[in-house]
Amino acid sequence: MMKEYYFLLSSVTSAVKGEKILLKNGFRAHVLKDGSVNPYGCGYMIRASGEKEKMTELLKKGGIRINEIREAK
């Protein structure tokens, strides 16, 4: 079973752009808003399944600034 991660971001714009990057590269991803999980900025994050290192690399190459990555429970 693939692990799921929360990529905590500072803006909805970054979250939507990051979601598109991950989807385009075959990962399952969707944008969520939860200020109790993401204390940064507006509370938006991407929940995605797959290899953490590969997803992180794709997001960074796409110009997405990640505040924190948490494993989803």
pLDDT number for residue 6: 97
Q: Which domains does the chain have, with CATH numbers?
A: 4-71 (3.30.70)
Asked if residue 22 lies in contact with residue 46, where contact means CB atoms within 8 angstroms, the answer is yes
Residues 11-67 have pLDDT tens digits of: 999 999 999 999 999 999 999 998 888 887 789 999 999 999 999 999 999 999 999
**What does the block give as tokens for 15?**
């979250």
| Across 1-20, average pLDDT | 94
Residue with tokens 């990555």: 69
Q: Where are the alpha helices (DSSP H) in the chain?
A: 12-24, 52-61
pLDDT number for residue 41: 79
The pTM of the full predicted model, rounded to 2 decimals, is 0.92
pLDDT number for residue 39: 83
